[in-house]
A and B are shown apart, each in its own frame.
Chain A
């Protein structure tokens, strides 16, 4: 029996940056230039008074690569702080998705039922379609999308992962 080589573990990395022009391009360029993966990336200003943004990146790699990614991010001049949320203790990850399902009849009813189980809300509705809003970790969002597939899944829009460490300590 041949075993598949284990995929590199996923890491969620939070980067606190000075909100100057081009800072996102620097981070993205670093990943593409050095051949690191980006599975998901979110960015938004999180502190308007001090002009700071937070970038959450989901990436994968062995320990040496993840350490490199962290060190390379820390090298960027406008970076305040880098935290590997996967490595540094328990954390919470959430993603929000807007999912359009085009269905009538039995499928329409089934879609609503599944949405209820997933605590997804219908945020738009026509006689032939819904837009659901679902929040949760990525696996929950994936599961919801998988279930909608046979029921008339038409379009998906996802935020990508936002994450934060549990407990009292702030980044």
Chain B
């Protein structure tokens, strides 16, 4: 430990600068020192001292959600759209257990969250006290790390350490469990030198090994059919990393595809972008991934939605994988060259190494590769035929995109078909504009996430592209939006079905639609009105543009009930168990489509 570096792991010898305050005051002070501006929370007995300390200050704004699950998703939206950690405050017992889904969601999608949970007083822990839950035990597998504060003097150190762990390396959620007595008791706090913190054990990787980077660019330069496969790691690495990615893609002239989580890292409107890959990816992206000879994976993790059947995944390629988390490399797919490091920094190294070696892409091979790709592209796999009678969900999103692309827009989604159509038809040009639940696939994510985004960007347009079933999973957060006068636009693609599940039942279970029809739907227009919001019904393709414009120009919260074709399916689709280049295409006769195998039936 050098003279200036402060070791997070050691309680520094207290000096005169240390102040004496209650644990709750230390907590708020430490959050303030971390630059926290907003907390999403919900009160209860165990956190009363903290709410008291919040009441007495003006630095941090508290956003009162309507259910703790909403608080975590709101914090995720806040974090994903700003690059800053999201902060959550919930009470013990049911407050903490309600937060578990959001924590798991943040864990899967690597979102930096610090979640403060109340706990019963220290001497009651383990006694089945009122509103006691083993929060540390419950959240251990769904957090990057968690802490129980046992001594008020430790409060400050633990809070700063929690932010460090949540944000450094591969980000993730961190829980701090706060027994009530620890918050009430007096203790000492001193602001550490935040720029020079070092953790006792945790050392996130930064740059990649130079020899590996040199080798990687050599492979890239020698490639005949290269492809960049990019993911959410780029968004986490930051706008700088995305800028460097653009430079690298332009420098090489190679095609690029992205996972659901990575959308926006590279501009979707650019010619070199093949669209999203994976289960509902484009024909050209999946075929290019299958046929490539060098795959450059940057901040993605070879998830099963991407790979399809493992033994058929891109069988003839050499695979380069850059990831900040060593456990992502070789987890599902055998990698030929794994580079551990922050993806932004490694791309920067790649740029330097490529230029230094004087590499040039193979022009002849490149032309041939792009010719092949154009052939796949000309299949126009996302084409749909919007008739006069009923709005197609694809069309609705395409129009929403066309009518909002010039605005300062953020999009969140729920989970289901509408989410996949949003990914396919909404073109993201910048990072941090797209908030969706990828790894966990949490219905009910989008509305609270939109609340978090709008809090962070009060002047921007925030649209939750929703499904009628998902909307109802967290629709209580409409009240939150109403309370803070958030001008969200909730764009419900109402097909009256749990569409994605219905699609699987149609394709895999002989059209036996067991329990997937949305019976007894509320009147969404009236629902909006009863919250003081504006409700709109959209049902005519001819007036859709006007309706969308009206929605956009309406001040305040709007809930749009967009009544879309009920039995539309989302294609292309790689059925589970199939190879990633075996796609069911829209309008295909059954005979041409890949068959769902017995093995595939058992897969999610």
Contacts and interface: CB of A to CB of B under 8 A. Distances in A.
A71 B327 contact: yes
With a 10 A CB-CB cut-off, give which of B141, B146, B200, B201 has the most chain A CB atoms.
B201
With a 10 A CB-CB cut-off, give which of B200, B325, B334 has the most chain A CB atoms.
B200
Contact of A22 (B136, B144, B200, B201): B136
Given A18-B201, A22-B146, A71-B326, 18 more contacts: A18-B9, A18-B200, A26-B140, A29-B141, A33-B141, A64-B330, A64-B334, A68-B330, A68-B331, A71-B329, A71-B331, A74-B326, A75-B325, A75-B326, A77-B144, A77-B201, A78-B200, A78-B201
Interface of A: 17-18, 21-22, 25-26, 29, 33, 64, 67-68, 71-72, 74-75, 77-80
A32 to B, nearest CB: 9
Contacts of A33: 141
B527 interface: no
A67 B331 CA distance: 9
Closest 8 CB pairs of A and B: A71-B327, A77-B145, A71-B326, A77-B202, A72-B327, A80-B201, A33-B141, A18-B201
Interface in B115-141: 136-137, 140-141
Interface in B1-28: 9
A80 B9 CA distance: 13
30 contacts: A17-B201, A18-B9, A18-B200, A18-B201, A22-B136, A22-B140, A22-B146, A25-B137, A25-B140, A29-B140, A29-B141, A33-B141, A64-B330, A64-B334, A68-B330, A68-B331, A71-B325, A71-B327, A71-B329, A71-B331, A72-B327, A74-B326, A74-B327, A77-B145, A77-B165, A77-B199, A78-B200, A78-B201, A79-B201, A80-B201
Interface residues of B, number: 21
Interface in B140-175: 140-141, 144-146, 148, 165
Contacts, number: 43
Contact of B330 (A18, A67, A78, A80): A67
A132 to B, nearest CB: 38
A62 B327 CA distance: 15
A17 B148 CA distance: 18
A78 B148 CA distance: 14
Nearest to A22: B136
With a 10 A CB-CB cut-off, give which of B140, B146, B148 has the most chain A CB atoms.
B140
